[in-house]
Structure 1
Amino acid sequence: MNGSVTASAPRRSPRDWAVDIALFLLAVAFGLLVSAERLQAPFLSPRWLFNLDQLAGALSCAALWLRRRRPVELAVVLVTLSAFFELVAGAMLAALFTVAVHRHPRTTAAVFVLSLLTAVVYVVLRPEPDTSSLLLLAFGVALQGAAVGWGLFVHHRRELVLSLRDRAARAETESLLRAEQAQHHVREAIAREIHDVLGHRLSLLSVHAGALEYRPDAPAEDVARAAKVIRESAHQALQDLREVVGVLRAPVGELPQPTLADVRQLADESGQAGMRVDLSEDVVGTAPDRVGRTAYRIVQEALTNARKHAPGAGVRIRLAGAPGRGLTVEVGNTAPAAAPMPGGRPGQGLVGLAERVDLAGGHLEHGPAADGGWRLAAWLPWAP
């Protein structure tokens, strides 16, 4: 509650009204009690001084309604008046409490020190005939210290509550950001899976459909063979799509997960579709699931890109590795024997592939080969 004084105070809430009325009534009650005690005392102050004291006390109580607008200024005025006027004490204590609640502790300390000085001045100017000045001073300091201490307690408690609310708001915001990031990562993972699973099948469909389109006079046996491949590839693509869609409600880890052993089937499918694929394997042991899955996706993306961008080119696949040495995956194709497929343009496959390899702790290289073809190579860590 360290805000500066504003030009117009905010509207009081019901709680604010209750606190203001309570402080006002307490200050009035304090003044009435002291006045009643003075009237019964054997040594009564001069009548004019008693009346002036009552007037100052009444005005001080009325001024408490300004405590929210000008807490420091009001406290300084009341503290100064308390150096001579006794009935101002109740309103002065309420003002000290207000400063302690709504202003910085340094400001509170300065006003409190001023109140201690005025307490000393009051004891000197208006000593009690039947009461020790030191005892009277100690009583006044105790009351002022209690008011300031209570106010500081409320002040720090409010700051703590605001701090906890702020932390809760920040924690909620951070939680929402983490949830959004998690959703983003899940969407990226699903997009990569859909791209890898369906891209291979759909490229096979496109190759054979294009062949039928550009060779309407092909022999019936070739047409039947192409139609069979199209039908089988379409059926398999639908199956793959059903698997992917079916697990969207499940954790990402439950998506279809191929292994290194499935690379040979991948090469056979491409060979049956008319590609010239040469697979060389020099792998010792069984690769971990993550390594094998990443290697499979590398080969799958390379074969898909070769069909799209290098029709008729020969493809060489080499797998080599062992525990402790890592797994090397190399896929290269010769220069295209025909023009690229219509609509074949670079996509996000290599970008997603680089992300996969990076997540697996490996590195990926790709670029044109010396013979006019394309080469893609990756190394994946394989723990011993």
Structure 2
Amino acid sequence: MDSGDLGIARPVMIIRAGRFGRMRRRRNARDWAVDLTAFVLAALFGLFLAGTRVDEGALPDPSWLFTLDQIAGVLGCAALWLRRRWPVGLAFGLIVLSAFSELVSGALLVALFTVAVHERLRTTIAAFAAGVAAGGVYAFLRPEPQAATGIMLGASLALAAVGWGLFVHHRRRLLESLRERARRAEEEAGMRAERARRDTRDAIAREIHDVLGHRLSLLSLHAGALEFRPDAPAADVSRAAGVIRENAHLALQDLREVIGVLRAPVGELPTPGIGDLARLAAETVDAGTPVDLRVAAEGLPDTTGRTVYRVVQEALTNARKHAPGAPVEVVVDGAVGEGLGVEVSNPLTGGPGGEGGGAGLIGLAERVALAGGELTHGAEGGRWRVAARLPWPS
């Protein structure tokens, strides 16, 4: 019996190889206790058989044969200390001894159990069949009145030992598969956690770009106007400075809200929606870019409304940056079950117009794709057009 013969999981032990033996674990205290128990049980079984022979007066003739039988039994029990290194060799060696020695039977049962626990099923079946055949040889060499009963009893005990060993073998395999499955599940959980962290970082990056990009573009526009017109009237300078101060304050406030994602679930972040488009358009008009806003959609889900807001925000930011002063048309319309369309367009004014081609549109396309929609952008008919199509389930 091994220290895990009852199916108890054990920590991994230090492994070493004998010169002629297979790789084996260094015995720990439990292993020594189990090996000692196996030795004692095999010895007691042999003593029981020897005592039965003496009590019944059924000693073999000549008498020296019984002495040789006892010596074989002692050697077989002592050989059990080698069962971890040579389980198959020990089993077949004891099978050969059992062909003429009855007292080696206890050690043989332990050896058959060890083979069933550690070896393949084919090897176990071969050892069991060889053990039964050795019993037939014993009955032939040492005929007795109840030889058939003895053979059946020996085969039953061998079958019980092998069956117990196979049960332990398959239970170990099951435990190993469960540990492997748990290890894989832990690795997959780690990969999911890493993917979640990456998605969170991407979400933070999109939020920072969408929120601060809008505010900083307003700051840049008005600061550029002051730099370009240092001789502007005091009223215009004061008005531009007020816009810069207000948007700087709003940018700081928005930044605090975005950083909140590091301390709170995403669902707790402020979620601007389609109802905030009018305010967004007013800020753009105040910055000097005319906006024609037409919205024909009500009752949008929060996620869809937030995506619409970000699409319009990014398109207006790009329009101010690449086509300053050009009028912008914003159209949002759709119906439940048919989908929602968002289109922002402005005329191309002697350059690339709204064509930014940077991280903003890339992040915006990712945001729209996460919402189940599609984003398109490009020059068409003398205008720069950013359009998104989003699902609007009923």
TM-score, normalized by the shorter chain, greater than 0.5: yes
Q: CA deviation at 1:111?
A: 0.9
User: What amino acid maps onto 2:74 in structure 1?
Assistant: A
* Equivalences for residues 1-384 of structure 1 within 5 A: 7-45=22-60, 46-129=62-145, 132-246=146-260, 248-281=262-295, 283-336=296-349, 346-371=357-382, 373-384=383-394
Aligned partners of 1:54, 1:68: CA distance in 2, in Å? 24
Residue by residue over 1:354-380, the C-alpha shift from the partner in whole angstroms, topping out at 9 and shown as x without a partner, is 122222222211112342x52111122
Alpha-carbon contact 1:27-1:61 (below 8 Å) kept: yes
Instruction: Name stretches of at least 5 consecutive residues in structure 1 with no aligned partner.
Output: none
Aligned partners of 2:372, 2:351: CA distance in 1, in Å? 37
Alpha-carbon contact 2:80-2:107 (below 8 Å) kept: yes
Correspondence for 2:13: none
Aligned partners of 2:338, 2:388: CA distance in 1, in Å? 13
Aligned partners of 1:97, 1:161: CA distance in 2, in Å? 19
Q: Determine helix, strand or coil for the equivalent of 1:286.
A: coil
Aligned length: 376
Q: Over aligned residues, Cα RMSD in angstroms? A: 2.5
User: What amino acid maps onto 1:126 in structure 2?
Assistant: R
Residue by residue over 1:284-315, the C-alpha shift from the partner in whole angstroms, topping out at 9 and shown as x without a partner, is 54333332221111010111122233334332
Aligned partners of 1:142, 1:258: CA distance in 2, in Å? 79
Residue by residue over 1:5-63, the C-alpha shift from the partner in whole angstroms, topping out at 9 and shown as x without a partner, is 96442211111111111111222222233233334443422133222222222222221
Residue by residue over 1:162-205, the C-alpha shift from the partner in whole angstroms, topping out at 9 and shown as x without a partner, is 22222222222222322332333233223322221221111111
Aligned partners of 2:118, 2:204: CA distance in 1, in Å? 54
Alpha-carbon contact 1:312-1:337 (below 8 Å) kept: no
User: What amino acid maps onto 1:194 in structure 2?
Assistant: I
Aligned partners of 1:154, 1:360: CA distance in 2, in Å? 53
Provide closer, same or farther for how the CA distance between residues 237 and 119 of structure 1 changes in structure 2, counting only shifts above 3 A: same
Aligned partners of 1:274, 1:262: CA distance in 2, in Å? 19
Aligned partners of 1:355, 1:70: CA distance in 2, in Å? 63
Alpha-carbon contact 1:326-1:381 (below 8 Å) kept: yes
Provide closer, same or farther for how the CA distance between residues 237 and 150 of structure 1 changes in structure 2, counting only shifts above 3 A: same
Provide closer, same or farther for how the CA distance between residues 146 and 270 of structure 1 changes in structure 2, counting only shifts above 3 A: same
Q: CA deviation at 1:160?
A: 2.1
Provide closer, same or farther for how the CA distance between residues 329 and 340 of structure 1 changes in structure 2, counting only shifts above 3 A: closer
Aligned partners of 1:30, 1:125: CA distance in 2, in Å? 22
Q: CA deviation at 1:339?
A: 9.5
Provide closer, same or farther for how the CA distance between residues 267 and 6 of structure 1 changes in structure 2, counting only shifts above 3 A: farther
Q: Determine helix, strand or coil for the equivalent of 2:57.
A: coil
Alpha-carbon contact 2:258-2:269 (below 8 Å) kept: yes
Q: CA deviation at 1:340?
A: 9.1
Provide closer, same or farther for how the CA distance between residues 246 and 40 of structure 1 changes in structure 2, counting only shifts above 3 A: closer
Aligned partners of 1:22, 1:280: CA distance in 2, in Å? 89
Residue by residue over 1:128-166, the C-alpha shift from the partner in whole angstroms, topping out at 9 and shown as x without a partner, is 24xx22211111112111211221222122222222222
Q: CA deviation at 1:102?
A: 0.9
Provide closer, same or farther for how the CA distance between residues 6 and 162 of structure 1 changes in structure 2, counting only shifts above 3 A: farther
Aligned partners of 1:8, 1:163: CA distance in 2, in Å? 21
Instruction: Name stretches of at least 5 consecutive residues in structure 2 with no aligned partner.
Output: 5-16
Q: Determine helix, strand or coil for the equivalent of 1:287.
A: coil
Q: CA deviation at 1:346?
A: 4.5
Provide closer, same or farther for how the CA distance between residues 188 and 214 of structure 1 changes in structure 2, counting only shifts above 3 A: same
Alpha-carbon contact 1:302-1:376 (below 8 Å) kept: yes
Q: Determine helix, strand or coil for the equivalent of 2:84.
A: coil
User: What amino acid maps onto 2:347 in structure 1?
Assistant: T
Instruction: With the length of structure 2 as denominator, give the TM-score of the two structures.
Output: 0.87
Provide closer, same or farther for how the CA distance between residues 383 and 39 of structure 1 changes in structure 2, counting only shifts above 3 A: closer
Further displaced range: 74-83 or 248-257: 248-257
Q: Which runs of 4+ in 1 moved over 6 A?
A: 338-341
Alpha-carbon contact 2:319-2:353 (below 8 Å) kept: no
User: What amino acid maps onto 2:375 in structure 1?
Assistant: L
Q: Determine helix, strand or coil for the equivalent of 1:128.
A: coil
Residue by residue over 1:310-340, the C-alpha shift from the partner in whole angstroms, topping out at 9 and shown as x without a partner, is 3343322222223343222111222246899
Further displaced range: 4-13 or 299-308: 4-13
User: What amino acid maps onto 2:70 in structure 1?
Assistant: Q
Provide closer, same or farther for how the CA distance between residues 92 and 324 of structure 1 changes in structure 2, counting only shifts above 3 A: closer
Q: Determine helix, strand or coil for the equivalent of 1:9.
A: strand
